[in-house]
Structure 1
Amino acid sequence: MALPRCLAILAAAHAFLLPAQKARTSLRRATGPVVLIGEDSFGEELACLGQSAATALSGLSVAVRGKDELRNVLKNVDANDVVHCTDSALTGKDWNLLERDACPIWVRCVNEFGNDVVKEIFRNGKRRKTCLYEVAACAPYSAVLSIEERASWGGGASSIKRIVDFHRRDRLSDDEVALEAGLDTFFVSLTFEDYELPETRQVLAELANDARVTALEFRCDLLRSYNPGNVLKQLHAAREACQASWRGSEARLMFTVRSVSQAGAFRDEDVDEMASLLELGLRAGVDWLDVETETLSRKQLKKLRRMADERGATLVLGSHHQLGETTSSARAEALLNKCAKRSDGDAVKLVVDAASADDAASAATVADVDSRPPRVVLALGDAGKLSRVLGRRFLPATHESLPSTAAPGQISPNEALALRRDWGVVSPKKYAVLLESDFGSRSPAMHNAAFRACGLPHQYSVLELPDQGGLDDVNSETSQQFRDYLASPSFGGLSVTIPHKLRVQPFLDELTDSARKIGAVNTITPRPALVTSRTTLGGASVLTGDNTDWIGICECISKALRKRSGATTGRALVVGSGGTARAACYAMTSGRRARGEKPFSLLVYARDTSKAEELARAFGGKAVADLASVTVDAVVSTIPGAANFELPPACLKNKPAVLDAAYKPASTALLVQAKAAGCPMAQGASMLVAQGVAQLQQWTGRVAPIPAMRAAVFEGVEELEGDS
């Protein structure tokens, strides 16, 4: 069978051509199955695509062959299953089902992109128009799948998985947005007209693997054609080139249509077309959407904000360029507030003109690093370059590999970070892990790799105190040395290991809620403060104790659970009674609830029955003395790997997800046993990385380069086959 040139999932892409829709209930958190809908002539191809997509999602492919079958099918499939049907098999009452209980994706096959496609959509009479209208109203996203060189329609499965993953992703919290638009991060403004050229794709792949670049700005206004089909095709080409990024996934994309009056190329008078293109970007599932707050009407801005809320995890960046005049700090403050109000943005950006370095410095002072929503403020031109050094949050940048800059005065992340180091804007900080003895911890390698990847001048080492027991006496010489270390102006943060997770608490000003409930601290972070009770720091900072072990445990167990095939019991078992066991108990109960996951009923096992009972009571669980008849969904072992702990075989019959927190040796007796029983498992080194990511983000105020951190850990630890 001859293959079409391109497969396009286009209903949502063309929905902007239809009459305005009423506000729809958000599909963002839907857990229903994917439903692929195609024309009657697509039956064989749709089945092939459905099977491949189901494999990518670890589900089953199910066909709807006749009218009135959809309801029964949806009742009997799981969230990762893929349902496929032709539009003639659907009736009018099926659309509410699709909107409420599924992730519907409309599949179209076209040979070329252009206005002819739009005309063809309406060619087949009333039924076709009604069908398209209904699907477009509830289909959340669109994508273009280039399959010219692929053997079957199954080649589109990875893009469908991306759509579904984005569709089910919750909107980011304010704290997560602050990390995405974090300190010492940049988004690179792309200046390409054609993203399908090999040389363009090579540059994009390089940019996607630069951890200093947290997003790539897709400048729609610089494309040769604003035809919707061309925009989608170019956006897809950019995505394909960026798939293997430092995140372990495709790079974040920002969709921008910059008008001439705002230093771009899009015609000022075509505001409605601009709004339509921005809607198209939203329906394509971009990560950031730049909206011009003084170009678009209030009605258009509200509609875009509503669509962003309803259709996924897209973040809105409200932007304004105040050009042709110098702008005072007070005026800039007012413009930022207006920008935030009109756009209801997750972040706001203000660009001004600068006649001197003083103007640039004035602009940078308005960009308060702790503001919510995050503020991006910069000045254009050579005189404005200083603002790109003094301002530290999510600044637009160029790159050495780009053919041209998108705006006058843009500099690269390399240049900006070097100048910040040289001028003392970013001063080197010292970080360490507090150990009882150096057992070959991988934390220094992990965090130093992260600092290098992010272009930061910090160093992470091992801290060993001369008399470790001396921390128990707050008046001892060792305790005073520890205070002096924490009070140093160059102190950036500390990782804490057993047995110090309790001992360090008297030296801290405050504990996070999770650290307080767990009763153990593994992370210390100095935070700026105007007032503090700690006179030794002269009121300069507050020391906060946190626990990120529970985050690492949750991450590993959640990933392993997605591979699990056993029956669900709703129970989790924690083995051990120490500080890490407390973090595990919190993770399986309150921690999962905090992440939007269902908490487990908790079981605790330890050799010391009284300690197991005490720990279980603290977290609302139950102690078990005999594991022979215990069946659970998840197991977290927190005892040393050298103990060679194993579970009774009956415990593994239900194939629970198993995490062993010990990472030396990598292959513990429990993990060997779990793998042999066919259980999904996670090794302790993966937990080390996950909790380290949370630490690094606290210390630096930016997203962590996970692949660089993981690679550094596994240079010294065996990576086990099947590790989640």
Structure 2
Amino acid sequence: MNIRDLVHSSPIIGLSLPNPGRNPAGTGTIRMPNTPKSVMSTPDSSNVPSRAGSPHSKQCYSRTASIVLIGMRGVGKTTLATIAATALGWEHIDTDEIFESREHKSIAAYIVELGWDAFRAVESQILHDLLTAYPTNKIIACGGGVVEPESNRLALQVFREHGIVVHVMREKDAVLKYLRECTHHPPFYHETAVEAWDRRVVWFRECSSFDFVSLTVDIPSAPEGSPETAITPEQTLALKPVEEEFFRLLRFIHGIDTNKVAVGPRTHRSYILCLTYKDVRDAVPVLDDLSQGIDMWEIRVDLLGSLDPTFLAFQVATLRRYSNLPILFTLRTVNQGGKYQDATDDTTALHSLLQYALRLGVEYLDLQATYPKNIFMDLVARKGNTSIIGSYHNWSGNISWTGQETRQIYETLVQLGSDILNITNVAKTWEDNMSLREFVSSVEKNGIPLIAVNMFAQGKISRALNTTLSHVCHPLLPYPASPGQISFVECQQILHFTGLLPARKFYVFGNPIGESMSPTLHNTAFATLGLPHSYELHETDSVDPLVEVLRNPSFGGASVTAPYRRDIMPYLMHVSRQAKIIGAVNNVTPIPGGFSGDNTDWRAIKTCILGSVTPANAVTASTTALIFGAGGTARAALYALYYIGVVNIFIYNRTKTNAQILADEFNKLDALFCIRVLDSLSIPLPIHPQPTIIISTVPATSNSPTGPIEVDVGLKLEHLSSRGGVAVELAYQRRVTKLLALAEKKKDQGWVSVEGIEFFLEQGYEQFKIFTGRRVPKKVIRAKVLEVYERNVAHELTS
């Protein structure tokens, strides 16, 4: 059977993956899913977990601690191990590969000859050896049945005291199909694959600290005539979502990026949307619309169609596949307005469900004040990097905000160790909202973020006035999660009408800026989110008139483009560290006492690179980049590359002196930096290894008597590495530039193109967030900007 047959018959295929950079020893195979995403069977909703396994109470791991992956055969452990090893520069170890290397025969042949017991004995010895010998800097992928012997389960439980053990899951139907067709192992001994799955899942959770769902992705077929062991660039690119989701979990575990919402007196208002679906996957078609304006998702577990742990894991995984917003895991009981049974003498199931939230690595966990105290405190002790929202909902309306009962509830939630408090009451009159604000004012000095709202129609205004994580609804939801909830847009309208959200004017400063797409981007975003602001062009011949605009009371912020990115800096009270290093600002906002400047170009470049680089070309210490140009945007590109870990950089510029000045300046920033200037674009380039990241910061066109003509920097097809890479174009005067055309010709070798309009969108998204504190509604904005952009480009080409 060749690779094309495998692609069409199996969700997991064995392929070799290049492993460049810091890990020459970390070679191995990569198993990739290929079947379309299947719908996981939904267990009966009454089937609550009895033994979900609890994460270690320590929940604190060294960043060098080895990572062990366990799970059923065919779920993608080797895929994750290889991706992680390449990105981390660690060695990837596969227990099955070690077994076959030691025994000099395949696992299937060994079992046929000597039996399963003999195989398990050798496998156990391999596991114990690895866990003992490699406590750090290794990714260890274990065979599906490694948890069968009790001694192995005990060894894994000991290892997770200091290392990370991840239980990897995938859609059951796809994996079972693979197991039926797999020839690497003989059939299961005296049982079916389904029986083995159901029996082992309890052991997997007993031995691991976290559950991770590696959702199946569609893998394109290899071209006709490809070698059986080769992996195509398209196939590695298809694995990008799996890579991003796995590293999101690892960054959270290690505390590198816990993906939290900024809350506090000096932060923007924040919002939560509760998904009131029985199955979150039903929300996928409208998820982008639902997310407009919000900062966090809430999964109301008590409203879901099942309480089975695997079902819950897939709910969280689905949200992570389609959104990077943090997740709040909430299990609301009947007496608190939910559907889960109130606590009884046996609270095992309740405790297990809440523990499972920590296993999934959710960013936030809601704990009711009505939960048994021992459960609440146990989860606070185990929370790791998860934030606890302590909550109380009074549905009876028998307590008031000015009464002692509310104060006692507040103090109880504080004493239990809540990171954020949520107290919800009933508004019987409009004046109850004023009492709420008085209570909030009286406890603000404590410094603990507080969500305080009233329910029902009389309490609607309290939801708009609440500043921290207000629960909002959306017309596309099946139903609101709580009576009296209003939408994000309605919140903004109320804030505007009450004077708490005054209309602001935003601008783009520069010259010439007549064809700027920024007004289209920002005005569309304002209208979509219901914000009362406006954005317009402000073109001047000098920087002096801009100062008067800054001082206008209605000034909300400005984008800054050439030639004022440096000229505006002396007028700013504060300039971000990144903008100082880059030496230019492209974003100005008012702050108390003056104005602040920042640079979003580098963030957009970083996003464009990381969103397009394949797992096969993950950034390592040996990654090389090539930049065209030596102006302000080239400076932003250098900083972006430095931020993501690329230190071997070459610059080519028409004026070599300017390029050398830029290289000398940035080389002083860090001893690791190695920036060199090319004299010419010779063939081959005097660069080793060849660059896998190429960024053009020069204009795509120049003016001539006959109209705009394409700028040709001299790049040739031979300059692009045969290993593939990312070509980023920062100019957007044309959709397809010379650089992108060359990259397209080498698409089959793994080159990915990023158009200049994509860079423009990304930097605009970043600016909008700085301007308003809100995430831009990307789907709507992108569609509108591309519509106008394509119309403008078509007009230019025909004029």
Question: Within 5 Å, which residues of 2 pair with 1:2-21?
Answer: 17=51
Instruction: Return closer, same or farther for 1:493/1:30 CA change in 2, 3 Å cut-off.
Output: farther
Separation in structure 2 between the aligned mates of residue 34 and residue 501 of structure 1, nearest angstrom: 49
Separation in structure 2 between the aligned mates of residue 89 and residue 436 of structure 1, nearest angstrom: 70
Instruction: Return closer, same or farther for 1:440/1:510 CA change in 2, 3 Å cut-off.
Output: same
Question: Within 5 Å, which residues of 2 pair with 1:36-115?
Answer: 37-38=71-72, 46-47=73-74, 65=107, 67-68=122-123, 85-87=144-146, 92=152, 95=156, 100=163, 103-105=166-168
Aligned to 1:562: 614
> Which one of the candidate residues 518, 541, 548 is aligned to 1:443?
518
Aligned to 1:575: 628
Separation in structure 1 between the aligned mates of residue 294 and residue 606 of structure 2, nearest angstrom: 27
Aligned to 2:712: 644
Separation in structure 1 between the aligned mates of residue 772 and residue 614 of structure 2, nearest angstrom: 31
Residue 23 (1) aligns with residue 70 (2): no
Instruction: Return closer, same or farther for 1:162/1:6 CA change in 2, 3 Å cut-off.
Output: farther
- 2:167 and 2:210 in contact (8 A); partners too: yes
Query: Deviations 1:210-264 (Å, cap 9, x if unpaired)?
Result: 213444433333468xx742x7537746976x789xxx54876532122344444
Question: Within 5 Å, which residues of 2 pair with 1:418-567?
Answer: 418-465=493-540, 468-469=541-542, 471=543, 479=544, 481-527=545-591, 529=592, 532=593, 542-562=594-614, 564-565=616-617
> Which one of the candidate residues 178, 196, 200 is aligned to 2:262?
178
Q: CA deviation at 1:369?
A: 11
Separation in structure 2 between the aligned mates of residue 87 and residue 103 of structure 1, nearest angstrom: 13
Other structure's SS at 1:715 match: helix
Q: CA deviation at 1:658?
A: 2.4
Separation in structure 2 between the aligned mates of residue 711 and residue 651 of structure 1, nearest angstrom: 34
Separation in structure 2 between the aligned mates of residue 28 and residue 452 of structure 1, nearest angstrom: 46
- 2:630 and 2:653 in contact (8 A); partners too: yes
RMSD between aligned alpha carbons? 5.1
Separation in structure 2 between the aligned mates of residue 656 and residue 204 of structure 1, nearest angstrom: 31
Question: Within 5 Å, which residues of 2 pair with 1:642-721?
Answer: 642=701, 643-647=711-715, 651-653=719-721, 655-678=724-747, 679-717=751-789
Separation in structure 2 between the aligned mates of residue 160 and residue 423 of structure 1, nearest angstrom: 45
Separation in structure 1 between the aligned mates of residue 505 and residue 714 of structure 2, nearest angstrom: 40
Aligned to 1:152: none
Query: Deviations 1:492-550 (Å, cap 9, x if unpaired)?
Result: 111011111011112222111111111101001113x3xx2xxxxxxxxx310011111
- 1:34 and 1:105 in contact (8 A); partners too: no
Unaligned runs of 5+ in 2: 1-8, 12-37, 87-91, 98-106, 108-118, 174-190, 218-238, 668-673, 702-710, 794-799
Separation in structure 2 between the aligned mates of residue 56 and residue 716 of structure 1, nearest angstrom: 39
Instruction: Return closer, same or farther for 1:647/1:33 CA change in 2, 3 Å cut-off.
Output: farther
Question: Within 5 Å, which residues of 2 pair with 1:336-415?
Answer: 339=413, 342-345=416-419, 347-364=420-437, 366=440, 374-401=449-476, 405-415=480-490
Aligned to 2:652: 605
Query: Deviations 1:437-467 (Å, cap 9, x if unpaired)?
Result: 13522222222232233232222221112xx
Other structure's SS at 1:136 match: helix
Q: CA deviation at 1:384?
A: 2.2
> Which one of the candidate residues 211, 220, 230 is aligned to 1:141?
211
- 2:740 and 2:755 in contact (8 A); partners too: yes
Q: Which moved more, 1:672-681 or 1:331-340?
A: 331-340
Separation in structure 2 between the aligned mates of residue 55 and residue 484 of structure 1, nearest angstrom: 56
> Which one of the candidate residues 337, 343, 349 is aligned to 1:269?
343
- 2:700 and 2:737 in contact (8 A); partners too: yes
- 1:522 and 1:545 in contact (8 A); partners too: yes
- 1:35 and 1:102 in contact (8 A); partners too: yes
Separation in structure 2 between the aligned mates of residue 645 and residue 369 of structure 1, nearest angstrom: 59
Residue 168 (1) aligns with residue 238 (2): no
Q: Which moved more, 1:424-433 or 1:370-379?
A: 370-379
Separation in structure 1 between the aligned mates of residue 389 and residue 378 of structure 2, nearest angstrom: 13
Residue 625 (1) aligns with residue 684 (2): no
- 2:271 and 2:293 in contact (8 A); partners too: yes
Separation in structure 1 between the aligned mates of residue 632 and residue 444 of structure 2, nearest angstrom: 34
- 1:6 and 1:144 in contact (8 A); partners too: no
Residue 187 (1) aligns with residue 272 (2): yes
Q: CA deviation at 1:387?
A: 0.8
Unaligned runs of 5+ in 1: 39-45, 111-119, 148-156, 472-478, 533-541, 593-597
Residue 282 (1) aligns with residue 358 (2): yes
Q: TM-score, normalised by structure 1?
A: 0.73
Q: Which moved more, 1:15-24 or 1:412-421?
A: 15-24
Q: Which moved more, 1:319-328 or 1:611-620?
A: 319-328
Separation in structure 2 between the aligned mates of residue 158 and residue 656 of structure 1, nearest angstrom: 14
Other structure's SS at 1:659 match: strand
Separation in structure 1 between the aligned mates of residue 39 and residue 574 of structure 2, nearest angstrom: 61
Query: Deviations 1:283-326 (Å, cap 9, x if unpaired)?
Result: 345454212256353664453563453xxxx5543333466322
* Percent of aligned pairs with the same amino acid: 24
Separation in structure 2 between the aligned mates of residue 615 and residue 36 of structure 1, nearest angstrom: 48
Instruction: Output the amino acid matched with 1:611.
Output: N
Instruction: Return closer, same or farther for 1:606/1:257 CA change in 2, 3 Å cut-off.
Output: same
Separation in structure 2 between the aligned mates of residue 24 and residue 8 of structure 1, nearest angstrom: 33
Separation in structure 2 between the aligned mates of residue 657 and residue 320 of structure 1, nearest angstrom: 50
Separation in structure 1 between the aligned mates of residue 201 and residue 350 of structure 2, nearest angstrom: 27
Other structure's SS at 2:731 match: coil
- 1:351 and 1:379 in contact (8 A); partners too: yes
- Give the total of aligned pairs: 643
Instruction: Output the amino acid matched with 2:434.
Output: A
- 2:301 and 2:331 in contact (8 A); partners too: yes
- 2:566 and 2:584 in contact (8 A); partners too: yes
- 1:566 and 1:655 in contact (8 A); partners too: no
Separation in structure 1 between the aligned mates of residue 612 and residue 170 of structure 2, nearest angstrom: 32
Separation in structure 1 between the aligned mates of residue 633 and residue 216 of structure 2, nearest angstrom: 48
Q: Which moved more, 1:134-143 or 1:666-675?
A: 134-143
- 1:378 and 1:391 in contact (8 A); partners too: yes
Q: Which moved more, 1:607-616 or 1:50-59?
A: 50-59
Q: Which moved more, 1:214-223 or 1:170-179?
A: 170-179
Instruction: Output the amino acid matched with 1:141.
Output: D
Query: Deviations 1:466-507 (Å, cap 9, x if unpaired)?
Result: xx23x2xxxxxxx2x422311222221110111110111122
- 2:53 and 2:206 in contact (8 A); partners too: no
> Which one of the candidate residues 206, 209, 215 is aligned to 2:289?
209
Q: TM-score, normalised by structure 2?
A: 0.67
Instruction: Output the amino acid matched with 1:695.
Output: Q
Q: CA deviation at 1:435?
A: 2.3
Q: CA deviation at 1:371?
A: 11
Query: Deviations 1:314-359 (Å, cap 9, x if unpaired)?
Result: 55433334663222499989976864663453x4433234454343
- 2:299 and 2:327 in contact (8 A); partners too: yes
Instruction: Output the amino acid matched with 2:713.
Output: F
Instruction: Return closer, same or farther for 1:332/1:661 CA change in 2, 3 Å cut-off.
Output: farther
